Every structure is written in structure tokens, then in C-alpha cells.
Amino acid sequence: MITVKQIHTKKEFKAFVKFPFKLYENSKYWVPPIITQELKTFDQKENPVFNDADAFFFIAYKGEEIVGRVAAIINWLEVKKQNQKKMRFGWFDFIDDLDVSKALLDKVAEIGKAHELEYIEGPVGFSNLDKVGVLTDGYDYIGTMITWYNHPYYVNHFEAHGYRPEKEYIESQFSFNNINPDSFIKANALIKKRYQVKAINFKHTGEVMPYADTMFDLFNKTYASLSSFVEITDIQKEYFKKKFINFINPEYIKFVVDKDDNMIAFAIVMPSFSKVLQDVKGKLFPFGFLKLLKAKKESKDVMFYLIGIDPEYQNKGITAVIFNEYYKTFSEKGIENCIRTPELADNMAIQQIWKHFNPKIIKRRKTFRKELQ
């Protein structure tokens, strides 16, 4: 018999976070989260997203054994400001038992109906800076710290429960050694002269902070047209600065400003922590933190996490300025592989940015939707 329980205590949340460690204990490709960071994500006192969202967390039991989990989420900015009557769900993991996945999704549906929402979509997080999508192809590639990994049977469960694909995302990679810099080095000089723009580079994290709020404002402006977008609020900016900036090498953050020093473009690249996260098994102490610092300095794989260009400067070659700066930085660091994190498959603008690098699609993922009737 399957029992689904809503959780509230610290002990229960720790069990919620640690369930995938058992589910994927024999996987070479699953990358565990940092346990303490994951717990903070779900803590209403720590995560300011709860100022504009409600979340309900459930664990499924078969007897006394945990066999599944899910977070049911309502983002009220999305519901009230955008009139998207969406019931979100994420952190959805389960054994290969249709009764388990159905019992968890039924809880999500109950909450959606109680709040008069119109449809369910997931897996998604609270916002655009959270993880998204169930993996549908590319199971034999290692995951990243900013994506979910899942067993192939997950897709079958969605289909069996009457869910249909809603959005598709792609992840790609390309070898840095295969990059031909001619495509952007010459254009870099021309673009700088034509539009009177310049690149800003950093050596220390403290140098980045004065620009961080402006970057998030530009992020909101750049991504506003995407169907999945929910704006980042001022209080969330502070949270994300604390959560992400320390994981990023300052030299991997690039800004472009106009002649008046107004930011018109940004790009954020992160070192890959996948292998070291597998090694430390989600624990920062006693040695996990030191291993992460080592990987931050020495990783030869990088992830293109975010890139944004002011709509007024799109299709004007500004990416040549950004790529020229990264080419110099990556050459010095001896970078070998560049990985692109999930991008909407129908976002042709972002795909055009990468056309000169011959990227190979290595993973596909989707969100699934079901109407609430």
C-alpha cells in the first residue's frame, strides 16, 4: 500500500533530500546536490522565493520505506501577474512503480484544484534559475549541478498518467580545441568601434558585486519574452548572489557596456563540478569544500550557464565581443570542453549565437503538462 505524507520537520526534509542518493546509488551519471544547500532551498526563512510562492512537499512510503518524493509549487507572480494558472511540481523522484508516481502527482493535482488553477506542468523549480525538465535523451552523459538526472522510465510514467509534452530543452557541448577564433576576433574589433562598446573582465569576486543587480535587471529584460519566464525580484537577487557567485570564477563572468557604461550584455560560465560532487556525495565537510575549491581552479570543463543581450543590441554581433574575451580566458586556463546548460529548443535566437562552434546535442529534456478538470 502506498502512503503519501506531507512533510514539515527538519528530519523529514533531510529524508526528502537524501532519497535520490539511494535511488541513484549505482548510477555513473547522476550528480548529487550539496545537501546543506538543497535544504536551504526549501527553507522559508532562507529562500526569499517564498515571499511570492507556496510550496508543499510530499514523501511516498511503501510500508516504512521511502519510495518517492515531490514538491508542489505555486508561483503567485506567474499566476496573478502573468495570468498563467499553472500548478508547478519539481524534485520529482520515484521508484519504477506506477502507483507511486500516480499517488504523488495526485497530491499535486489536489492542490492545483483547491487553488482553482487550470493545469499542471513540471518538473520545474520555483523560478528560471532553478532546475527544469525530465531527461528524455542522453542518459549516458554525466549530469551537472544545475540539472536533474532521472531514470528512463520516468517518461513512461508521465505518459501512462495522461501527461503530454509541453516544452523541450536541449543541452549541447563542443570542444574548445575545435573553435576557430577567426569567426569572432575580427568582428570583435569592428563591433566595438561601430557601437562604442567595451568588455569588462574581473579578477576578484568582490569586483563583480557592484554590477550584480544590474545584471539581474538585464536578465529580466532579456528573457521576458520567453514563455517560461518569471521575473527575478529584488529580494531574490540578493539570495542568488549568495547562492551562485562564490561557485563562479570571477574571470568567467563577462559584461559588455556601452559608451555611457550601461550594461548591454552579460555572460556567466561555471566550472564543471560534476565529478567532484559525485566524489563528496553531497557533503561539504570535512573535505568536500576543499575539493570543490580545487575543482573551481582546475576543472578543464566549463558550463555556459547564462548569456543575455539587451534587445536593442541583439543581432548586432555583440556576442563576438563576449566570445573574444572567453577565448583569451579559456586559452590561459587550458579549457577542453564547453557545455551548454538547458535552453528552450524553440529559442532560435540563442541557438544562432552558437552556430559557429558546431555544438553537438547530447541531451534533451521536457516538461510535461496535464489539464486540471
Between 180 and 147, name the one with better pLDDT. Answer: 147
The closest alpha carbon to 317, from 162, 210, 195, belongs to 195
Lowest mean pLDDT of 67-81, 198-212, 223-237, 340-354, name the range.
223-237
- Distance, CA of 161 to CA of 108 (rounded, Å): 13
How many residues are present in the chain? Answer: 373
The pLDDT of residue 265 is above 70: yes
> Residues 74-99: what's their mean pLDDT?
95
pTM: 0.93
For residues 296 and 298, give the distance between their C-alpha atoms in angstroms, rounded to a whole number: 6
User: What pLDDT score does 317 carry?
Assistant: 92
- Position 326 scores a pLDDT of 96
Segment 260-288 mean pLDDT:
93
Mean pLDDT, residues 98-103: 98
CA distances to 327, 331, 335, 339, 362 from 177, in Å: 11, 9, 8, 13, 18
Query: Which domains does the chain show, CATH number per domain?
Result: 2-169 (3.40.630.30), 174-366 (3.40.630.30)
**Residue 115 or residue 177, greater confidence:** 115
Q: Which residues contact 346 (CB under 8 A, 6 or more apart)?
A: 168
Q: Per-residue confidence at 119, pLDDT binned at 50, 70, 90?
A: very high
Q: Which residue has the higher pLDDT, 69 or 213?
A: 69
Contact in structure between 54 and 2 (CB atoms under 8 Å)? no
- Cell for 241? 548572489
pLDDT at 285 over 70: yes
Return d(Cα 36, Cα 284) in angstroms, integer: 8
Instruction: Look at residues 140, 165, 129 and name the one whose alpha carbon lies nearest to residue 362.
Output: 140
> Which pLDDT does position 161 carry in this prediction?
98
Three cell numbers written together for 334: 587550458
* Pairs from 44-50 (Cβ < 8 Å, separation ≥ 24): 46/239, 47/126, 47/239, 48/233, 48/235, 48/236, 48/238, 48/239, 49/75, 49/126, 49/127, 49/236, 49/239
In the structure, what pLDDT confidence band is assigned to residue 227 with cuts at 50, 70 and 90? low
pLDDT (mean) for 312-339: 94
Residue 63 reports pLDDT greater than 90: yes
- Say if strands 2-6 and 263-271 run parallel, antiparallel, or are unpaired: unpaired
- pLDDT, position 69: 98
Distances (CA, A) of 305 to 161, 162, 212, 267, 287: 33, 33, 15, 8, 26
Question: Over the stretch 331-355, which tens digit does the pLDDT of each residue have?
Answer: 999 999 999 999 999 887 777 778 7
Please give the pLDDT value at position 228: 65
Q: Which residues pair with residue 175 across a beta bridge?
A: 337
Position 303, amino acid: M
Average pLDDT along the chain:
93
Distance CA 222, CA 238 (A): 19
SS3 243: helix
Choose between 358 and 168: higher pLDDT: 168
Which pLDDT band, with edges at 50, 70 and 90, does 370 fall under? very high
- With a CB cutoff of 8 Å and minimum separation 6, the contacts of 272 are 144, 295, 299, 301, 302, 303, 339
DSSP secondary structure code for residue 9 in this structure: S
Predicted local confidence at residue 80, as pLDDT:
92
Q: What percent of the chain has pLDDT over 90?
A: 78
Q: CA 16, CA 35: separation in Å to the nearest integer?
A: 10
Measured distance CA(371)–CA(373) in Å, rounded: 6
In this prediction, residue 114 carries a pLDDT of 97
Arithmetic mean of pLDDT, 274-301: 92
Which pLDDT score is estimated for 347? 81
Tally of CA atoms within 13 A in the half-sphere of 147 that contains its CB: 33
Q: What is the pLDDT of residue 251?
A: 96
Average pLDDT value for residue range 64-84: 95
